[in-house]
């Protein structure tokens, strides 16, 4: 974990693609790799997919068998185009840091036949889960956030909701709860000012485990040695 956080501190660019490429280059020497959008859950039964969830009928036999059930195993290269075509029927890790040669086949399992999700079980190769969240530096102030919360349908701050939703989906898998978790808030423009509210929100969930890179290529990062350590019992937004 220390090596991965150190790698982030060496990243040269603050945009999402730049972070991904820089991180990939930096950890190659550690016999690790970064996978983009690694599936961790698939809808267990085709019949449970609402028509609004997919742009077209899912007829690809590579995803469901003749009975409309998800398979127990998928090759990673088979799932890649399906994830891009039908993203709403998967849950995934935004960026997964993994052993370089251990994720060619993904194994999924459901506890009960009627479970909505079939979850990834071969997680040993996953060394850390990374979530990238873009944000507008000039919208991270109390007045703008309060206005957004008042106007939103669920009364929540979107940046916090994105983070909580991502952590919750990983916590639902007992194996992933024990994995390191990293979130990187990536500014859409040069971070000329320190977004103090966003920093405080990271402290709410990650306490002292945060990194703030100031300046033109800055970003904010929070991390936990295991996702299990992060509590979702309270919202930071309630403190505004």
pLDDT at 137: 80
**Greater pLDDT, 66 or 58:** 66
Highest mean predicted confidence (pLDDT) among 2-11, 55-64, 98-107, 176-185:
176-185
pLDDT recorded at residue 12: 57
State pTM to two decimals: 0.87
The length of the chain is: 240
Q: What is the 3-state secondary structure (H, E, C) of the chain?
A: CHHHHHHHHCCCCCCHHHHHHHHHHHHHHHCEEEEEEEEEEEECEHHHCCHHHCCCCCCCCCCECCCCEECCEEEHHHHHHHHHHCHHHEEEEEEEEEECCCCCEEEEECCCCCCCEEEECCCCCEEEEEEEEEECHHHCCHHHHHHHHHHCCCCCCHHHHHHHHHHHHHHCCHHHHCCCEEEEEEECCCECCCCHHHHHHHHHHHCCCEEEECECCCEEEEEECCHHHCCCCCCHHHHC
Query: pLDDT for 178-197, tens place per residue?
Result: 999 999 898 877 666 668 88
Average pLDDT over residues 65-76: 90
| Rounded-to-integer distance, Cα 92 and Cα 95, Å | 9
Q: What percent of the chain has pLDDT over 70?
A: 79
Would the pLDDT of 110 be above 50?
Answer: yes
Helices 158-171 and 196-206, interaxial angle, to 10°? 20
Q: What is the mean pLDDT of the chain?
A: 84
What integer pLDDT is reported at residue 55 of this predicted model?
Answer: 46
Q: Checking DSSP bridges between strand 90-99 and strand 126-135, what pairing results, if any?
A: antiparallel
HSE-up (13 A, CA, CB side) for residue 81: 6
Res 113 pLDDT > 70: yes
**31-40, 152-161, 170-179 — which one is most confidently predicted on average?**
170-179
CB 90 within 8 A of CB 39: yes
Percentage of the chain lying above the pLDDT 90 cut: 39
Q: How far apart are the first and last CA of the chain?
A: 32
Q: What is the largest CA-CA distance in the chain?
A: 56
- Half-sphere exposure for 163 (CA within 13 Å, toward CB): 31
Q: Please, how many CA atoms are within 13 Å of residue 68, restricted to the half-sphere of its CB? A: 9
The pLDDT score that the predictor gives to residue 24 is 66
Asked whether the predicted pLDDT for residue 101 surpasses 90, the reply is no
């Amino acid at each position: 974990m220390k090596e991965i956080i150190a790698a982030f501190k060496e990243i040269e660019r603050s945009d999402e693609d730049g972070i991904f490429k820089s991180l990939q280059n930096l950890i190659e020497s550690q016999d690790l790799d970064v996978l983009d959008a690694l599936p961790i859950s698939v809808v267990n039964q085709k019949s449970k997919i609402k028509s609004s969830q997919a742009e077209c009928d899912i007829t690809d036999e590579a995803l469901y068998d003749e009975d409309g059930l998800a398979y127990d195993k998928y090759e990673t290269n088979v799932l890649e185009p399906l994830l891009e075509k039908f993203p709403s029927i998967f849950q995934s890790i935004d960026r997964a840091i993994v052993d370089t040669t251990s994720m060619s086949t993904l194994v999924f399992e459901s506890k009960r036949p009627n479970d909505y999700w079939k979850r990834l079980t071969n997680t040993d190769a996953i060394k850390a889960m990374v979530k990238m969240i873009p944000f507008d530096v000039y919208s991270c102030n109390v007045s703008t956030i309060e206005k957004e919360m008042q106007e939103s349908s669920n009364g929540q701050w979107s940046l916090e909701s994105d983070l909580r939703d991502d952590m919750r989906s990983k916590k639902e898998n007992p194996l992933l709860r024990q994995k390191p978790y990293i979130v990187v808030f990536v500014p859409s423009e040069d971070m000329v000012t320190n977004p103090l509210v966003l920093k405080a929100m990271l402290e709410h969930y990650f306490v002292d485990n945060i990194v703030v890179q100031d300046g033109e290529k800055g970003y904010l990062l929070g991390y936990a040695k295991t996702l299990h350590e992060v509590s979702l019992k309270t919202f930071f937004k309630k403190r505004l």
